[in-house]
């Protein structure tokens, strides 16, 4: 085994960049004046390296609740709304990723939750 000159070891790569198997390296399809990017390679025309679709992609960023946003440190914004959860709309919506539905419920400022340890 000899010394390998010119090899870069600064980052891990699964494969070398290859022409996208879905769009054959074109990056997508042209329909009239619109260009529709390939969904497999995201319009690059190649896959591999840091853009390897088989690797599963990046981890989505963690979602923080809206009432914990730093905008509430502004006294004018904090005084404008009575409720940080619903922004005075009296309803709270939530996207259920598992069921792929939008769930809307009354806010806690309208109907406090009832349970064994709460009296209402």
Span 24-65, pLDDT tens digits: 888 888 877 778 888 888 888 888 777 776 665 555 567 777
Angstrom distance (rounded) from CA 78 to CA 72:
5
Burial 78-108 (b: 16+ CB within 10 A, else e): eeeeeebbbeeeeebeeeeeeeeeeeeeebe
- More reliable by pLDDT, 23 or 51: 23
The overall pTM is greater than 0.75? no
| CA distance readout (Å), 115 to 7, 99, 110, 118 | 64, 25, 16, 5
pLDDT band of 117, cuts 50, 70, 90? low
Q: What is the mean pLDDT of the chain?
A: 76
Asked if pLDDT for residue 1 goes beyond 80, the answer is no
Is the model's pLDDT at 15 over the cut of 60? no
Q: Which residue has the tokens 């979602």?
A: 63
Determine the pLDDT at residue 18.
83
| SS3 category, 35 | strand
**What pLDDT does 120 receive?**
46
How far apart CA 102 and CA 105 sit, in angstroms, is 10
């Amino acid at each position: 085994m000899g010394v390998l000159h010119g090899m870069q070891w600064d980052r891990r790569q699964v494969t070398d960049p290859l022409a996208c198997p879905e769009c054959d390296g074109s990056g997508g399809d042209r329909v009239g004046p619109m260009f529709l990017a390939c969904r497999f390679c995201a319009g690059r025309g190649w896959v591999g390296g840091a853009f390897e679709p088989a690797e599963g992609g990046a981890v989505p960023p963690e979602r923080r609740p809206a009432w914990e946003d730093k905008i509430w440190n502004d006294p004018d914004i904090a005084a404008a709304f009575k409720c940080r959860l619903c922004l005075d709309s009296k309803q709270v919506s939530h996207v259920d990723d598992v069921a792929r539905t939008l769930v809307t419920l009354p806010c806690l400022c309208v109907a406090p939750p009832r349970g064994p340890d709460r009296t209402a």
